[in-house]
Amino acid sequence: MSPFILYSILLAVFIYLIFHLSSLFNRKSLRLPPGPKPRPIIGNLTHMGQMPHHSLAALARTYGPLMHLRLGSVDVIVAASASVAAQFLKVHDTNFSSRPPNSGAKHIAYNYQDLVFRPYGAKWRLLRKISSVHLFSGKALDDYRSVRQGEVAGLTRALASAGSKSEQVNLAQLLNVCTVNALSRVMLGRRVFGDGTGGKDPKADEFKSMVVEVMVLAGVVNIGDFIPSLEWLDLQGVAGKMKKLHKRFDKFLGDIVEEHKLHGHDGNEKHTDLLSTLISLMENADDEGEKLTETEIKALLLVRTCLQLAPTLPQALRNGPLQNSFATPKSWSK
């Protein structure tokens, strides 16, 4: 073992001991809920098992619906019943609106600049208002109806064409492709699976690979998230991969934002996607004097797009290449 690695490990252990002792003294003054006794360094991580939801249900039968766990050196309070969860989500929601820090939000989501991971405050309220009005409201659904109708019409034409030729199609995959394309057009103004002309779209392929990589990295248990004193070592190399992925996303989204700025719609024309709407709001301050920045727009698009595409993209990619599945046939063109 090289001296550098040895000294790094010793330094990390020293930092952990200092952090652990200070947190132990602070913890004594807190009235924490009951829970299993944590082990040194790893805490209650071993209590999670292969299926954490089953393990938590079993622990709740022993310690009650409100439990305290220590995952590594991070204190966690578990609400294991609907009534207790309602206290966190409804009664005391303002106190618990902020999410705990994690490497994904830090290294990928522009250092907590998006709606999902941003700490509660004036800017968070602005981002929530924008999402509620321009993405999830009834008016927004009506505004994007033509996008959904266009994708469904293209899917219908493709199925009719395949039926006339007595060709088999993977219906589940095509439905997911249709959903993914509709969502990406609403968010970014472009299809993830091709541009509808039957040819390949390099940008769409790049975007798909990045979303898949985000999903893979999000499923990795990063030691640094649970033992912050070891975060700087990046023992698993997760943080390094996230930083590289962030640079790819930043360039991809930056190019799309600049493209929308150069070829966007004027103020008299209806916005066709969420990004165009966000760009138009950059100069308008809300009631609290907060304005959107380009970084916040990219962070909002990154997280929202990944969250919305994540449930459908794996199914759309599951059965191999899309070249033979009518995913982007010429009959889909407008």
Query: What torsion, rounded to 10 degrees, do the Cα atoms 182, 186, 189, 192 define?
Result: -40
Out of 62, 80, 99, pick the residue that ends a domain.
99
Q: What is the largest CA-CA distance in the chain?
A: 75
Residue at 112 is within a domain: no
The answer on 210 and 322 residing in a single domain is yes
The answer on 141 and 282 residing in a single domain is yes
Q: What is the mean pLDDT of residues 12-37?
A: 67
Domains contained in the chain, number: 2
Residue at 321 is within a domain: yes
The answer on 300 and 192 residing in a single domain is yes
The answer on 79 and 188 residing in a single domain is no
Residue at 314 is within a domain: yes
Q: What is the mean pLDDT of residues 251-262?
A: 88
Q: What is the mean pLDDT of residues 230-242?
A: 90
Residue 12: the pLDDT is 64
96-127 tens-digit pLDDT? 888 888 999 999 999 999 888 899 888 888 88
Q: Phi, psi (5° rounding) for residue 132?
A: -65, -40
Residue 3: the pLDDT is 66
The answer on 322 and 252 residing in a single domain is yes
The answer on 153 and 83 residing in a single domain is no
174-219 tens-digit pLDDT? 888 888 888 888 888 888 776 444 455 677 778 888 888 888 898 8
- Domain harbouring 158, CATH code: 1.10.630.10
138-180 tens-digit pLDDT? 888 888 898 999 999 988 988 898 888 888 888 877 888 888 8
Confidence of residue 16 (pLDDT cuts 50, 70, 90): low
Name beta bridge partners: 75: 70
Residue at 121 is within a domain: no
Out of 99, 114, 146, pick the residue that ends a domain.
99
Residue at 113 is within a domain: no
The answer on 310 and 245 residing in a single domain is yes
The answer on 147 and 89 residing in a single domain is no
Q: What is the mean pLDDT of residues 297-314?
A: 78
Report CA-CA distances (Å) from 154 to 21, 164, 207, 313: 63, 15, 22, 19
Residue at 118 is within a domain: no
Residue at 228 is within a domain: yes
Report CA-CA distances (Å) from 283 to 48, 124, 202, 273: 48, 17, 32, 18
Name beta bridge partners: 76: 69
Q: How many helices (H) and strands (E) does the chain have?
A: 14, 2
The answer on 79 and 9 residing in a single domain is yes
Q: Which two tokens stand for residue 168?
A: 């088999």
Domain that includes residue 293, residue range: 127-332
The answer on 215 and 85 residing in a single domain is no
The answer on 141 and 60 residing in a single domain is no
Mean residue pLDDT across the chain: 80
Out of 81, 99, 117, pick the residue that ends a domain.
99
Residue at 115 is within a domain: no
Q: What is the mean pLDDT of residues 270-297?
A: 80
The answer on 69 and 201 residing in a single domain is no
Residue 319: the pLDDT is 46
The residue assigned the tokens 């659904």 is 141
CA distance 42 to 48: 11
Of 58, 61, 13, 327, which Cα lies nearest the Cα of 198?
Answer: 327
